[in-house]
Structure 1
Amino acid sequence: MTTLRKPLRNGAPALLIIATLLTACSGDEYNYTAPNEICGTSVDPQALQAVLPPGDEVEATSLPLSITVACEIKVDSRLQIDIRGLALSGARDPSERAATFRMENSVEENWGPDFPAVLADDGAVVSLPCGTGGRTDTLLTEIHLYSDHMSEDERRDQATDFTRSYVTGLAEQLNCDARPAAPAPQ
């Protein structure tokens, strides 16, 4: 007895493999344009895109919380960046706050007079010497990066570039005199 086989049946595993590869490859492309503003704060779109993974859609959402700044940035509905800002009276040491988050490979920097920052591979905590009105004179800003699409060698620089861009935009938005100092030439 002769058995007839459908030609597609034998090729089904190959088609499944090709479809899987095509699906996997499409996730490696940036099918969105990074915005130049997130949650009302101007940012460098290149610095933002560098810390975001490839995907189809990026969205930034201001959160209705009782703190001064609250913003989440998602790519394809997955949280990639979480930003919190606390308006305070009296300067705060960002290293104390950063210690509670166990940030990866953190280092302390000084971005200007009374402008300390803790920078890490997965985010930053910056004490912006500027109030938001009333009795506040400092905005303690926490940035948490959850994406690990970038190489370890690039993560710190890209996280720092994004943080510097965001904090500069935040200072402009709040009409602060302080701005992060330009990075030291290497």
Structure 2
Amino acid sequence: MKHLVPRTSPTHSAARASSRFTSAKATIAAITILGLALSACSSDEPRKKSYTAPTTLCGAAVPPEILTAVLPPGKELRTELTKTGYLQSTCRVFIDDEPVLAAHYDWMLKERTVFDATAPLLRLDAEKDVNPEGTFGYTEKGGVTRVACPNPSESKYKTWQLFAYIIAYDNDGTKEDVKNLVAAYGKGMTESSECASKSRTT
């Protein structure tokens, strides 16, 4: 006696195939949603400052922690010095090849003020951003300070005044952090070879 195997109707087979297809689509959709969720979570994680900050800005000593407070996150840091004649020099800081900060010094005539030094770059408010003596000013975007330079590298600079300023293209800190960096850079310039030449005496 032969056992008869019931034959599945075309309608039933199509229904099962459709069910499997729907289930597969649901699985793919769930995986996609999970992947997007994980991606969103990872993108929400704060970027880290993985680089090591230098101890000087192109020759001017600056505590790394003061510099790092203003710099944005990233992996690699490098500096680049550009000297314009005898009176100006700019030290640019790059994070992952993007310019993020400039430390600049400029020799000017004695009667010049902090406003003269930063007029093209910073809009300092005389009442809010500058000290009463008019020798130091800063905003969230940068600042400027007169630099005490008792022993300049060139004797002709004796009749000139040195200004040092910071421009933060991408400030990750506060206005107070910028103030600390401007002050530190000014102090570093005072102690640098530009102002403390060992080959000359006062």
Q: Which of 165, 173, 178 lines up with 1:159 in the alignment?
A: 178
Cα deviation for residue 33 of structure 1 reads 2.3
Of 90, 95, 102 in structure 2, the residue corresponding to residue 82 of structure 1 is 102
Residue of structure 1 in register with 2:35 after alignment: 15
Please list the CA deviations of residues 72-99 of structure 1 after superposition, one character each: whole Å capped at 9, or x if unmatched: 1122222221122112342421123334
Q: Which residue of the partner structure matches residue 46 of structure 1?
A: 65
Q: How does 1:126-165 map to 2 (within 5 A)?
A: 126-130=145-149, 131-136=152-157, 137-150=160-173, 155-165=174-184
Asked whether 1:35 is paired with 2:54, we answer: yes
C-alpha distance after superposition, 1:60-117 (max 9, x if no partner): 2112433432111122222221122112342421123334434366522268xxx811
- CA contact 1:89–1:135 (8 Å) conserved in 2: no
2:53 aligns to what SS in structure 1?
Answer: coil
- Per the alignment, residue 82 of structure 2 pairs with 63
Equivalent position SS for 2:189: helix
Higher alpha-carbon Rg: 2
Post-superposition offset of 1:44:
0.8
CA contact (8 A) 2:60 2:185 kept: yes
Equivalent pair of 1:82/1:143 in contact (CA under 8 Å): yes
Does residue 120 of structure 1 match 2:142?
A: no
Q: 1:8 to 1:39 in 2, by over 3 A?
A: farther
Name the % identity. Answer: 19
AA matched with 2:129: V
Return the alpha-carbon distance in structure 2 between the equivalents of residues 142 and 77 of structure 1: 22
Report which of the two has the higher share of helix: 2
After TM superposition, the score normalised by the length of structure 2 is 0.71
The Cα shift of 1:24 comes to 4.2
Task: Give 1:157 deviation, angstroms.
Answer: 1.0
Aligned to 1:109: 131
1:30 Cα deviation after fit: 1.8
Number of equivalenced pairs: 169
SS in 1 for 2:84: coil
Among residues 157, 174, 177, which one is paired with 2:193 in the alignment?
174
TM-score (structure 1 length as normaliser)? 0.76
Say if 1:145 and 1:103 are closer, same or farther in 2 by CA, change over 3 A.
Answer: farther
| Residues in 1 aligned to 2:153 and 2:111: alpha-carbon distance in whole angstroms | 13
| Aligned CA distance change for structure 1 residues 40 and 47 (closer, same or farther; 3 Å) | same
Deviations 1:95-150 (A, max 9, x none): 23334434366522268xxx811222211122224244142232122211122433
| Residue 43 to residue 96, structure 1, CA distance change in 2 (3 Å) | same
Structure 1: runs of 5 or more not aligned: 178-186
Q: Decide whether the 8 Å contact of 1:95 with 1:108 is kept in 2.
A: no
